[in-house]
Structure 1
Amino acid sequence: MSEPTDRRSRKRLATRQAISNVATKLFWERGFDAVTVDEIAEAADVGRMTVFNHFPRKEDMFFDREAEGREVLRTALRSRDNGVAPIEALRDLAHRLVADQAPYVVFSGESQSFVRTIEASETLKARARAIRDELAEVVASALAETVGRDAGDRDAHLAAAMLLAIWATAFTEAHRIYERSQNSEAARSSLLAIIDQGTIGVVAAMAGTPYA
């Protein structure tokens, strides 16, 4: 009898998470570029091909929440109330994530290790920039979809580019504040203040479009 699909899925997800956890620990301890896939496989007690079955690229083990983050953004736009403008829905999302203490907006010793590991690796910095560009495309498509426009809509792409720049600035400054003060609340407050301020500017820039 074949193993139930849901059980197989749980086992697969557990294996993926275990590999990511082991890899992240090694990256923090030794630096991303100094760790090999073979070393990760050995530490996780799996085969090399098992690692690649779950993570096509080594950097995917580090940015293992990328797909989850994309879906969070899409869901926030697709599930918004009719009376809430798409740009405002994303601002509301930021406040919800902070209130729920979502892992994306946690500022701690671990998050500092995450940032320092990126800063020490050109490969990770390049991947972080690529992820930001990919997220901008995701947001642009979701913005257009939610108002019934084509995915290539110019206004949607302009709004998405501005929003991603604001969120990136907010996260960078929040991490800096935490690094200086070790104060998680101050970091979260800064994050939301920058997103709130930036959103006002995007709403003004997109006045007359269905996104604002």
Structure 2
Amino acid sequence: MTGDERRPAGTRERKRQALRRRLSDTATAMFLADGFDAVRVSDIAKACGVSTKTVWNHFPTKESLILDRGERLATELDGAAEGQQDLSGGLHVLDVVVSCIQGELSLLDDEPVEGSRDSEVIGAVRAFVLLVGANPGLRAATAERQESLTNSAMKAVAHQARLPVDSPHVHILAGALISLWRLHLSGLLRLGDGIWTTHDIREHVLRDLEVGAGLVRSLFRAAARADATVLDSHPSADS
């Protein structure tokens, strides 16, 4: 048995996530410095001291090196759509989305950049926006990623609501769920200008998220009343 096999699963997962982050951060910095098209995956591997195969094992495409934000959200939504989350037993698909965003925001206080009040998370979001704006291929990949997230949300909502995935309510509710993800990203960009501390940014975005989640929950309630289907099974929905 190897040393890695003897380590707890949580330790292995933390190492895997740390390597993914290092690969993504290195790729982002190289793309910004030299341009997306000029940087090869082999260049990124060399800079990180790993094989090109290792990079491909973590990221299926070159574009995915900077499109990894939202990966947990996609995984959780897919799990909800496939019944792996007990959505009928008190867990609402909205809570799944909110939990993923809160997890992203928790990184703000954990990753301050030395000599700055900014967080690496904010820097990564800003770099992502700059890169996408300058590259048509990345814009197309981003649109495809957004569509994939929305489709995952539609399947999760349909599963919870017991409605056809192409019903109007499912379309609207899924779009509202994904809008919460965009809300937190836009908040990071709006507040991450060097004036606010990472703690203050996190608290402001969390408040925006709370307001947004309340609005989305009201849409679920309205849909439930209009369709005579109980979509909102969250135990505190009427509180």
TM-score by length of 1: 0.70
Residue number in structure 1 paired with 2:61: 57
Q: Which has the larger displacement, 51-60 or 108-117?
A: 108-117
1:142 counterpart letter in structure 2: A
1:174 counterpart letter in structure 2: G
Residue number in structure 2 paired with 1:211: 231
Counterparts of 1:180 and 1:206 in 2: how far apart (Å)?
A: 41
**Structure 1 position 45, deviation (Å):** 2.6
Tell me the alpha carbon deviations over residues 25-70 of structure 1, each in whole angstroms, 9 at most, x when there is no partner. 3234444334222321221233334433332210111123443221
The yes-or-no answer on 1:69 pairing with 2:63 is no
**Structure 1 position 201, deviation (Å):** 3.9
Residue number in structure 2 paired with 1:159: 173
**Structure 1 position 174, deviation (Å):** 0.9
Residue number in structure 1 paired with 2:106: 101
Q: Which has the larger displacement, 124-133 or 65-74?
A: 65-74
1:25 counterpart letter in structure 2: A
Match of 2:157 among 143, 147, 164: 143
Match of 1:129 among 140, 143, 167: 143
User: Does the CA contact (< 8 Å) of 1:76 and 1:93 recur in 2?
Assistant: no
Q: Percent identity?
A: 24
2:222 counterpart letter in structure 1: A
User: Does the CA contact (< 8 Å) of 2:150 and 2:175 recur in 1?
Assistant: yes
CA RMSD of aligned residues (A): 3.8
TM-score by length of 2: 0.64
Tell me the alpha carbon deviations over residues 173-210 of structure 1, each in whole angstroms, 9 at most, x when there is no partner. 41342145743133443344334334434542453333
Counterparts of 1:95 and 1:40 in 2: how far apart (Å)?
A: 28
Which has more helix, going by share of residues? 1
Equivalences for 1:17-36 in 2 at 5 Å?
Answer: 17-36=21-40
Q: Determine helix, strand or coil for the equivalent of 2:37.
A: helix
Gaps of 5+ in 2: 109-118, 233-239
Counterparts of 2:230 and 2:86 in 1: how far apart (Å)?
A: 16
Aligned length: 205
Gaps of 5+ in 1: none
Residue number in structure 2 paired with 1:197: 215
Q: Determine helix, strand or coil for the equivalent of 2:89.
A: coil
Counterparts of 2:33 and 2:103 in 1: how far apart (Å)?
A: 29
**Structure 1 position 134, deviation (Å):** 0.7
